[in-house]
Amino acid sequence: MYWTGKGDDGTTKLYNSPSGCRISKGSKVIDALGSLDEVNSYLGLCKALAKKEKLDLESFIHSLQDHLFTVQAELAGAERSVNKEALEKMEVTLKELSEKIPEIKSFSVAGGTELSAHFDVARTMARRAERKIIELKESGERTLGPVSLAFINRLSSACFILARYVNVQKGVAEIPPEYD
């Protein structure tokens, strides 16, 4: 069965919830977890589209998703955290991808290709999740380890780089805003 019915009253529990203790599904931590889940699912869409476009990005995107599960578990109270080696590997891949795209000269309007537009949406979702996590940290309610926080900060950069990389691979020029 895929449901228990225990959350029908609008409550749920976390990894480290004391026995019998449930929290509101409207709480800040559940909101942050939901935001992480959204960006993870959206990256799944990006991964499927990248495969369809025959771009060799599935493994990297999958690793981002896998690390997002670790961040979610950590935020929910599990004794897990993104490890330094995973963050360093992410940074190496981002550096390699960055070397294949032109230097940024200005902002650009999203939507060069369908896939790049999806990565731009994922970027904004990642930033929203990061804001919710920082809000929890600043309130003292929850926090993540420093490497997991760094991963979450890099995630939006990864999506930005991936969007630009896709445009370059598809021969689509970036168009700056006109600011009229």
Domain locations along the chain: 25-98+109-169
Q: Is 50 left (phi over 0), alpha (psi -120 to 50) or beta?
A: alpha
Q: Is the pTM of this model over 0.85?
A: yes
Predicted pLDDT at 123: 98
pLDDT of amino acid 13: 87
CA torsion 119-137-95-99 (nearest 10°) is 50
How far is residue 87 CA from its own chain's centroid? Answer: 13
Residue 43, pLDDT score: 98
Q: Which CATH superfamily is domain 25-98+109-169 in?
A: Cobalamin adenosyltransferase-like (1.20.1200.10)
**pLDDT per 10-residue tile (average), the chain, 180 residues:** 86 84 91 98 98 94 98 96 97 97 82 94 98 96 95 97 96 86
Half-sphere exposure of 130 (CA within 13 A, CB side): 16
Half-sphere exposure (Cβ direction) of 27: Cα atoms closer than 13 Å? 18
Q: Which residues contact 69 (CB under 8 A, 6 or more apart)?
A: 40
Residue 78, phi then psi, degrees to nearest 5: -75, 155
CB-based burial label for 115 (10 Å; 0-12, 13-18, 19+):
buried
